[in-house]
Structures are given as C-alpha cells and as structure tokens.
Amino acid sequence: MKDEKLKLLLGGEEIAGRVAELAELISAEYEGRKVLLICVLKGAVIFASDLMRRLKIPVEIDFIAVSSYGSDTASSGVVRILKDLDRSIKGKDVLIVEDIVDTGLTLNYLRKNLLSRQPRSLRVVTLLDKPARRRVEFTPDYCGFEIPDYFVVGYGLDFNEDYRHLAGIYVLNPEC
Ligand code: IMP
C-alpha cells in the first residue's frame, strides 16, 4: 500500500451530483412502484447507500456477494456467488447496483442468474463503466460515468481491500 500512487479522477462532489441525477431518473422511471435494490458487495455499498437515500420512491435493499479479482487486478473470468440474497425476488422490480462494469462477466452472470428467479423487471445501475475492457457484451441500463481503462479505487472500490473509504475516485498507479 505504501508505494502505491493515487491520482484524483472524480471528486466527492462530482460523484454526489451524478448520484443525485441518477436517483432523479430512476425515481421518475419507477414512479408508482417499489424498487428492490440489489447491492453487489462489497464495492457497491457506498454507491447503493447514497443512491438509496436520494430515491423518491419506496425502496427495499438486499445484498449479494460474488467472487471478484482476489489479490490481482486482472479478471479471472470465473464468477461464483459467495453470499446469496436473503429473500425471493419473484414478481419484484429489481435494480442491481454495481460499482463498476469492467469485462462484463460479473453482471452478465448475475443478470442471467437473477432473471431465472422471475423478477417482474430487472435493470442494472453502475456508477462506473469501462467499456474498453469488455469481454462479453453488456450494457448497463443506467451509468454514472464512463471511464478509460484505468484501475480505480475509492468510494467503495478497493485494491486488496484498501482505499474503499475514500470520498473520491482515484486512478491507482497512474503512468503520468
Ligand atoms: P467485471 O466482471 O470484469 O465486469 O468486473 C466487475 C468487478 O471487478 C467489479 O465489481 C469490481 O469489484 C472489480 N473491478 C473491476 N475494475 C475495477 C477497478 O478499476 N477497481 C476496483 N475494482 C474493479
């Protein structure tokens, strides 16, 4: 951790502004309905809690944990459920809340898995998207920011479990 360098990419205020915009959009599109947020642990926990407090519609939350990159920054391509949802999603309007879409493998798998549980609807909101890194086709329904192929930390995102607490989003070890 000590030799790692961080360069600010998105400040806390910029993130808060965009989260508020996303919440407005989602509140308008789900008007008259209750939405079930499914927060993908651990990275999306800060985004999900900020988004949830901005929504103007009835909202529930549940959590799912899937295997991630472990101690490396390269995707293994293997997705496994480490902690499943507490309750059934059958007939519910489900919105998966993710921190970042990279290769698309995680959300591609999660979408298929959750669709088989027969929700009324299923959409995905991600705070960040790195479209240049896709290995499978995946387009989120709502996205906060598209970013280049950087490894980023902060606002819930980690490197070996460090940096999740930072208010902004930083590029880890930028080349310049
Ligand atoms: P995907 O399956 O490759 O799309 O990866 C999704 C997951 O990889 C995210 O939920 C993150 O946990 C992790 N991830 C991908 N890119 C980054 C990054 O730049 N910083 C931190 N975690 C990342």
Q: Which two structure tokens, joined as six digits, stand for 119? A: 């929700």
Task: State the amino acid at position 53 in one-letter form.
Answer: R
User: For 59-93, what is each residue's pLDDT tens digit?
Assistant: 999 999 998 644 444 555 668 899 999 999 999 99
Q: Reduce the DSSP state of residue 37 to 3 states and report it.
A: strand
The total number of residues shown for the chain amounts to 176
From the candidates 102, 129, 149, 162, which is the catalytic residue?
A: 102
Residue 106, ligand 1, Cβ within 6 A: yes
For the CA of 133, the nearest atom of ligand 1:
3
Domains of the chain: 12-149 (3.40.50.2020)
Unique residue bearing structure tokens 């999900």: 48
CB burial of 39-59 (b: ≥16 within 10 Å; e: otherwise) equals bbbbbbbbbbebbbeebebeb
Average pLDDT for 92-107: 96
Q: What is the mean pLDDT of the chain?
A: 93
Report the C-alpha gap between 130 and 134 in whole angstroms: 8
Q: What is the pTM of this model?
A: 0.94
Q: Tokens 């407005």 correspond to what residue?
A: 24
Candidates 94, 93, 161, 170; CA nearest to 128 is 170
pLDDT of 15 > 60? The answer is: yes
